[in-house]
Amino acid sequence: MGHDVSNDFVLVLVVITALAFDFTNGFHDTGNAMATSIATGALKPKVAVALSSVLNLVGAFLSLSVAATIASGLVQTKLVTLTVVFAGLAGGILWNLATWFLGIPSSSSHALIGGVVGSTLAAAGSHGVKWHGLVQKVIIPAGLSPLIAGGIAALGTFLVYRITRNVQGRARSHGFRLGQIGSASMVSLAHGTNDAQKTMGIITLALVANHTVPGGSKAPFWVILSCAVAISLGTYIGGWRVIRTLGKGLVEIDSPQGMAAESSSAAVILLSSHFGYSLSTTHVATGSILGSGVGRAGAQVRWRVAGRMATAWLLTLPAAGTVGALSYYAAHGIGGSAGVLVMFVVVAAASAAFFVRSRKTKVTSHNVNDEWTGAPAAQPRVPVAA
Amino acid sequence: MLKNWINLSALWRIVVIGILAGAGLPALFAVGLRALSSDPRGGTLTDDDDRVVGGSPGGIAVAAVCFVVVLAAIGYGVYLIVKAS
C-alpha cells in the first residue's frame, strides 16, 4: 500500500470535521440531561452545563461498547472511503445546526447515521448499506425507546406524587431538587458513555479507510481523548435553544417530574448501550419528559410541540442522508483532496451563517427559563422598570 | 419473523430492569423523603415550613435506608458499565 501524503491531508480534514460534529453533538444534547433541572431551578444554568460537561468527559472514558456497532453494523466498511466519511459528517453537522437553530431536540445520532448512510449510498449504491442492521439496530429502537422511556417516566412520576402526597409542598420541591441533581448527573454520564462513542467509531472508520490502522481496530487513545474533550466542550457551551424547548416547551415541569424523567432516561440509555443499541439519547429524554407530563394528574403537555419534534425525528435520517449524499457528489465531482477541501470550506461557511443568524433571536443562560410563548427562541426582552 | 428484527430478550430486560431502576429508584427516593419529613408525633410536616427533616428518629432511619439503597443501586450500575468495557 503506497503512502499518499494527500490522503493524510484529507484524513486531517475528516478528523477535524468529526470533532466539529462531536462538538455540535455536545451542545445539541446538553438539554437531554439538564433541561429539566434548569427549568425547575434545581441547578443554576451555568452550573448545570458545567456539571454535565465534566460528566460527559468522564462518561466518554467509561464505556466503549457502542463505538464498534456504529460503523461496522450499518455500512459495508470496506466500501467506505475518506470522502464518504467526510460527506456523512457534513450531513450530520448541517442537520444538527439547522435543528439547533430551530430549537428542535432532534437526534444527533440519527443525524450522523443518516449522513453516513446517505454518503455511502451515493458512493457505493444500495449494497453498501446493511439495511437489516439499520432497521434492527437504529430504526426499531428509535421507535420503541421514547415509548419505553415515556412509560417508565409516567409510572415513576405517578408513584412519586402518590407517595409524597402528604409531604408539605416546599419540603417536597426541595427534596426532589436535590434528587434531580443526582438523576441529571446520571443522564450526563450516560450521554458521555453513549454519544461520544459514536464519533470515536466514525474517526476509527476513517483511520481504517485510510489504512492508518488495520480493519477491526479499536479506537486509539488520542481518538478517545479528543472525542471526549470535544463533546465535553460542546456540552459546556450549552445548547440554550434546545434546553429551552425541552425544559419549558413540552411540559410545565416540577422537580418530582424532573427527577422521574431523568431517572427513566438514565436507566433506558444505560441499559440499551449495555445491549449494544446505539439509541438516541434525545428520543429517550424527550419521551421521558412527555411521560412525566402524562403521569402527573392535571399537568399540561404541549402535544403540538411534541408533534413538531416527532416530525423532525422522522425527517432526520432522510434529511441528513440527503445532505450527506449531495456532499459526496460535490466532493467526488470536484475530485481528490481539492473536493474534500472545498466542501470543508462550504460546511464551515454554512455553520458560521447559522451562528450569525442565531444571534438575532439569542437564547442564553439568562432567558432560557422565560415564559413559553410558542417559539423556541425567546422574544427579545423588553426592559421593565423594576 | 419478528425476532429477526427485535431482540426480544434484550427488549424485555430493558423494560423490566428499566422499570425497577427508572421508576423504582425515584419511588424509593420518594419513600425516603416522606419518611424523612414525618414529624415525631407520627404525622408529616404540613405547616408552612420548608424544612425537609421532620425530626422523627424512626423516619430518619427509614429515610437513611432508602437513600443508601438508591445510592448503592446507582453505584452498582456505574460499576457494571465500567466492568463491561
* A70 and A201 Cβ atoms separated by less than 8 Å: yes
| CA–CA separation, A280 and A14 (whole Å) | 23
Burial class (CB in 10 A: 0-12, 13-18, 19+), B16: exposed
Calculate the average pLDDT of chain B. 82
A149/B7 Cβ within 8 A: no
Shortest distance, CA A237 to any CA of chain B (angstroms): 26
- How far, in Å, CA of A153 to CA of B23, rounded? 6
| Per-residue DSSP letter, A220 | P
pLDDT of B31-73, one tens digit each?
999 988 877 665 555 555 556 677 778 888 999 999 999 999 9
Q: Does the structure show a pLDDT above 90 at B84?
A: no
- pLDDT score of A383: 41
CA angle A202, A207, A209 (to 5 degrees): 90
pTM over 0.90: no
What local confidence, expressed as pLDDT, does residue A385 receive? Answer: 40
pLDDT tens track of chain A, all 386 residues?
445 667 888 999 999 999 999 999 998 888 888 988 998 888 999 999 999 999 999 988 886 665 555 666 788 888 888 999 999 999 999 999 998 888 888 888 899 999 999 999 999 999 999 998 888 888 888 889 999 999 999 999 999 999 988 888 788 888 899 999 999 999 999 888 888 888 898 898 889 888 888 877 778 899 999 999 999 999 998 888 888 888 888 888 889 999 999 999 999 998 887 887 778 889 999 999 999 999 988 878 888 888 888 888 889 999 999 999 999 999 999 988 899 899 999 999 999 998 888 887 778 877 787 877 766 554 444 444 43
B window 54-73, beta carbon within 8 A of A? none
Supply the DSSP symbol for B2. Answer: G
Chain A closest-CA separation from residue B65 CA (Å): 15
Contact (CB<8Å) B14/A174: no
Shortest alpha-carbon distance between residue A52 and chain B (Å)? 16
Say how many Å lie between the first and final Cα of chain B, rounded.
32
How confident is the model at residue A379, as a pLDDT?
A: 45
- Contact yes or no for A149/A263 (Cβ under 8 A): no
CB contact under 8 A, A277 and B77: no
As a whole number of angstroms, the distance between CA A249 and CA A70 comes to: 31
CB-nearest to B81 from A171, A264, A270 is: A270
- Give CA–CA dist A240/A243, Å, rounded: 5
Residues 6+ apart with CB under 8 A from A317: A110, A113, A114, A117, A138, A139
For A167, the closest of B6, B17, B37 (CB atoms) is B37
Considering only alpha carbons, which residue of chain A is nearest residue B27? A160
Of B5, B21, B44, the CB nearest to A267: B21
Torsional sign, CA A337, A338, A339, A342: positive
CB-CB: which of A155, A160, A170 is closest to B30?
A: A160
Q: Is residue A192 helix, strand or coil?
A: helix
Give chain A positions within 8 Å (CB) of B34: 163-164, 166-167
Contact B49 A156 (CB under 8 A): no
Distance from CA of A265 to the nearest CA of B (A): 7
Cross-chain Cβ contact A160/B27 below 8 Å: yes
pLDDT score of A65: 60
DSSP H helix total and E strand total for chain A: 14, 0
Predicted local distance difference test score (pLDDT) of residue A240: 87
Task: Quickly tell me which residue has 429539566 as its cell.
Answer: A36
Q: What is the pLDDT of residue A49?
A: 93
pLDDT score at A93: 94
Chain A CB contacts of B18 below 8 Å: 148-149, 152, 264, 267-268, 271
Distance from CA of B66 to the nearest CA of A (A): 13
In a 10 Å sphere around its CB, with 0-12 CB exposed, 13-18 middle and 19+ buried, how is residue B1 labelled?
exposed
How many CB atoms within 10 Å of residue A118?
29
A179 and chain B: CB distance < 8 Å anywhere?
Answer: yes
- Chain A residue numbers with beta carbons less than 8 Å from the beta carbon of B73 are none
Q: Which pLDDT does position A384 carry in this prediction?
A: 41
A155 reaches B (C-beta below 8 A): yes
Label residue A374 left, alpha or beta by phi (over 0 means left) and psi (-120 to 50 means alpha): left
